[in-house]
Amino acid sequence: MPFQPVEEDDPFTVDDWLEAVELSAPSDTYSNDNAEAVLPVYIENATEGKLRSALTFVLGYSYADAGTPYKLHRVNPVEHPIWGYQMRASSVQFTRFNPVGNPENTPDNEPHRTSQITGAAGVIQRYASYGQCWMTVRFNQRPYFLYEDDEPEFIALGSELYRYVERTEEPSLEVLMSDSGGVMFWAETNTDGPTVGSHFPGQIGELIQKKTINLLWREVAMSFTHDSDGNPTKIESCVGRVNSTEFLGYPAGTLLFQPPKFDKRMYPFYSDDGRAFYHNILIQLSHFDPPPGAASPLARGHQLFPWRGGSSESGSAGSGPGWYTAYRGDGTSGKKYLRETDFAAAFQHVNKP
């Protein structure tokens, strides 16, 4: 199911956008960290269909194809008329006013109507009838790109990885503990000190530079990532594996796919298909790319293992560790330590062949 908003007989369009003009406009707040702008809009004919349509017109939504071509579609939130695409609508507030009578309510023309939503199971289907509405729209910044479906730049990029994805990085240092035998030797002494050239007897910690790449993929229609049983099989198939091809500019083997986090939400519109669930998905990739010790390495990154008696860095022979490919079974089996897969599949429709 695409889980789209119900198609209204009286849809809200750009021609219905009538900014309310007063002696002064609402205050806008801007800083280098954040920003918020506010616009009041007057809706002249505030029918229930018009208001529902205004909600999705302003806030946008996403939905997925039920079959071929298995795409994720984005209806972006509206841009601010002054600040453009840097400021997008983030919330709306409706204030209905001016009660109007309903000629269908005889003989008193009472100002109430019955909900048009079909199959409503709730006991409250009657609501007050108002003629007009103030719609207060708030705009905020988004730290990611919001490409349109047909935008040439997005089509050229060719992946959902490049829109609605907020990317951050967390560098870290890890310590690899090892026996110092054959690695560390005393280089200086004193009257009661060690013998120059003798082994240092304790353990040492080798500092390993790593980082975590966080990809927060926002407002992803659940039907795009989850199958009919509610399982995100394509994303799950990447967990615990390294990239088989270059991904985000990083060579094969240097990114390890960590277990993702799914923050389940629901769009606030009514759909004939049911509840329009979506997720904000946090995908974390562990990056590790030590300099290989071999002149023509068989692998990179997480597929390499440390050899304590050497070094992979030029001019640092013997300072350790050196990083080399190791196979399961024997040194010629070709069976790498970690399984590999194409991470691009995580950003494709769950049912796409």
pLDDT at 294: 87
What is the C-alpha to C-alpha distance for residues 11 and 46, in angstroms, rounded to an integer? Answer: 11
pLDDT at 74 (0 to 100): 98
Q: What is the average pLDDT value for the chain, to the nearest integer?
A: 91
In the block, residue with structure tokens 């950003």: 347
CA distance 5 to 275: 10
| pLDDT per residue as tens digits for the range 64-85 | 999 999 999 999 999 999 998 8
Paired tokens of 264: 């389940």
Local confidence band at 3 (pLDDT 50, 70, 90 cut-offs): very high
- Residue-wise pLDDT for 155-183, tens only, equals 999 999 999 999 999 999 888 776 655 66
Per-residue pLDDT, 313: 63
- CA distances from residue 86 to 80, 194, 263, 294 in whole angstroms, order as listed: 8, 65, 25, 47
Closest C-alpha to 54, from 221, 335, 269: 269
**Confidence bin at 312 (pLDDT 50/70/90):** low
Cα distance between residue 255 and residue 84, in whole Å: 36
In the block, tokens 């309903």 appear at 102
Residue 337 has pLDDT above 60, yes or no: yes
Q: What is the H or E stretch that residue 236 is in? A: helix 233-236
> Rounded mean pLDDT of 213-217?
98
Percent of the chain having pLDDT more than 70? 93
What pLDDT score was predicted for residue 195?
Answer: 84
Given a cut of 80, whether residue 204 has pLDDT beyond it is no
Q: How sure is the predictor about 118, in pLDDT bands with cuts at 50, 70 and 90?
A: low
Q: Sign of dihedral through CA atoms 233, 237, 239, 242? A: negative
Q: Which of 41-55, 98-112, 212-226, 323-337 has the highest mean pLDDT?
A: 212-226
Residue predicted with more confidence, 312 or 51: 51
CA–CA dist 75, 11 (Å, integer): 15
d(CA 33, CA 141) in angstroms, rounded, equals 9
Examine the pLDDT at 129 and tell me if it is beyond 70.
Answer: yes
pLDDT value of residue 179: 61
Q: Read off the tokens for 327.
A: 């196979």
Cα(310)–Cα(307) distance, integer angstroms: 6
> Bigger pLDDT: 3 or 195?
3
Say what the alpha-carbon torsion angle 168, 173, 176, 181 is, to the nearest 10 degrees.
150
CA distance 211 to 171: 4
As a whole number, mean pLDDT of residues 118-141 equals 85
Question: DSSP labels for 4-33?
Answer: PPPPPSS---GGG-EE---SSPPP-EE-SS
Q: Is 191 left (phi over 0), alpha (psi -120 to 50) or beta?
A: alpha
321 vs 138 pLDDT, higher one: 138
User: What is the pLDDT averaged over residues 33-52?
Assistant: 94
